Amino acid sequence: MKKHQLDHVLRAARRITGEKQFVIIGSQSLHGIAKSKVERTEWLNAIGQDSPFHEQFGYYADPVEEGTATLPTGWKARLINLAPGDTGGVRGLCLDPHDLAIAKYVAGREKDRAFNTALARRGMVTRKRLLELLPKTSVSEAVRRRIQSDIASDFHPR
C-alpha cells in the first residue's frame, strides 16, 4: 500500500468510527486499531476486503484486534508517528521496525520470513535488538528457538 493510499484509508476510518488515532501493525496493508474505543474496530469492515471501498479504490483496511499480533512487552511505548501526509487530522501510530519483525517471526509465514530477511539485509533492524526483544515476547520455547534460528539466518553473510 502506498502512503497516499494509507492516508486515504485513515481518513475513511475516521469518518466511520469518529476516532482520530489508529495503530498500524501490518507491513503491506493497514491493520488499524481504534486507539481509544477498540470496540469500533469492527466498524472498519465497511472499508475492508471485498467492500465497495475496496472495489472502488483497489485497496482496503484490514481491521484487527489488539491481540492479533504477538508483540514484545512494551511495544506501545515504542510506537512511531506515521509520516505526515493527507490524513485529515488522523494520527497513525506505527510499530517500531523491531517490534514488527518480532511479530512476523512469530507468525512464521513464508511472506513474513521474506519480509524480515529484507528488513535485515537493508539494515532496518539489528540482530542485537531483535535478540533483546525476543525474551520479552510470550511464545513457547520451541517457537523461541525457531525465531532465534531465523534471526541468525537473516543476519548470516551470504
Burial 78-99 (b: 16+ CB within 10 A, else e): ebeebeeeebeebebbbbbbbb
> Over the stretch 113-146, which tens digit does the pLDDT of each residue have?
999 999 999 999 999 999 999 999 999 999 999 9
State the burial class of residue 131 (Cβ atoms within 10 Å of its Cβ: 0-12, 13-18, 19+).
middle
Which residue, chain included where needed, has cell 514488527? Answer: 100
Look at residue 32 in the predicted model and tell me its pLDDT: 40
pTM: 0.82
The distance from CA 106 to its chain's CA centroid, rounded to whole angstroms, is: 13
**pLDDT tens digits for 8-49?**
989 999 999 999 998 888 764 333 454 555 566 677 778 878
Q: Where are the domains of the chain?
A: 3-94, 97-154
In this structure, the number of other CB atoms found within 10 A of the CB of residue 135 comes to 10
Predicted local confidence at residue 34, as pLDDT? 47
